[in-house]
Amino acid sequence: MAWAGFDRAVRAVQEHGLDGPVDRWRTIRDEIHREVCERGFDPARNTFTQSYGHPALDAALLLIPRAGFLAWDDPRVVGTVEAVQRNLCVEGFMLRYRPEHGSDDGLPGPEGAFLACSFWLVDALWGIGRTDAAQQLFARLLALRNDVGLLAEECDPATGRHLGNTPQAFSLVGLVNSARLLAGATTRTSASVDNQRIAKPRSAPRPRRRDGDRASVDG
């Protein structure tokens, strides 16, 4: 996320004409990228890890190519997608992480499959060329919707029963993003700042004094 923040700041200057110390931001962005690739990647397993020096995996690693950190066809991305799917999938649905593998979130007991993360897997499979697998998982996730088309935060991988917060917008955003990706659409904008009509901030108008209000000291 630190890399993504600086990368988007650089792009905001370069692509949309906003102001900012772009050279400094670019340097920091590149330093973060280099450090993550050196310390956050396990070459023996060909996968990025949840944290430096720790073997645990996290479903958020599936977002590395979506964020633009590395290309979809980078061998490290392909290896990470395969490792995350192999280690965090239960009945084909994605866990966020495995607390028993050292990902201590401070919460007792197990949790269900996280549906937003399962949609991330759809996107990742599609991105590395596993289109059939991506479409099949997407169809399974659609089948989990309730009678009004909504999804919960999690599901029981064995039964499909909804768990956690219901309805969960995070899951539905994942559904929309995956649908757009599989359909060949994009959400990226290439419009200039002028074409986006980004309004400049205006000072708030002074409140009008009503009859009976006491005048302030400065009138």
pLDDT of 218: 43
Q: What is the mean pLDDT of residues 125-140?
A: 96
Return the pLDDT at 84. Answer: 96
What is the enclosing helix (H) or strand (E) of 162? Answer: strand 162-163
pLDDT digits (tens, 9 = 90+) for 19-45: 999 999 999 999 999 999 999 999 999
Residue 49 scores a pLDDT above 70: yes
The pTM of the whole model exceeds 0.85: no
CA 169 to chain centre: 13
Inter-residue contact 8 to 44 (CB < 8 Å): no
Residue 217's pLDDT is 39
Instruction: Name the strand (E) or helix (H) holding 114.
Output: strand 113-114
Q: What pLDDT is recorded for position 125?
A: 96
Q: What is the pLDDT of residue 184?
A: 86
Which domains, and CATH codes, for the chain? 1-39 (no CATH), 46-182 (1.50.10.20)
**pLDDT category, 178, cuts 50, 70, 90?**
very high
DSSP assignment of 25-62, as one string?
A: HHHHHHHHHHHHHHHSEETTTTEE-SBTTB----GGGG
Contact 95, 120 (CB under 8 A): no
Q: Tell me: the pLDDT tens digits for 179-192?
A: 999 998 875 655 55
The answer to whether the CB of 115 falls within 8 A of the CB of 108 is no
Predicted pLDDT at 198: 42
Mean pLDDT on 80-108: 81
Kindly state the average pLDDT of the residues 73-85.
96
pLDDT of residue 196: 45
Q: What integer pLDDT is reported at residue 98 of this predicted model?
A: 82
Structure tokens at 46: 């060909």
Q: How confident is the model at residue 214 (pLDDT cuts 50, 70, 90)?
A: very low
Structure token pair of residue 30: 């590149």
Q: pLDDT tens, 2-19?
A: 999 999 999 999 988 899
- Res. 72: pLDDT tops 80: yes
According to DSSP, the residues that pair with 162 across neighbouring strands are 155
d(Cα 208, Cα 219) in Å, to the nearest integer?
Answer: 12
If DSSP codes are grouped into helix, strand and coil, which group holds residue 122?
helix
What span, in angstroms and rounded, lies between the C-alpha atoms of 3 and 50? 15
Average pLDDT, whole number, for the chain?
Answer: 85
Contact 168, 114 (CB under 8 A): no
Query: For residues 33 and 192, what is the distance between their CA atoms, to the nearest angstrom?
Result: 27
Q: What is the pLDDT of residue 118?
A: 97
pLDDT band at 111 (very low <50, low <70, confident <90, very high): confident
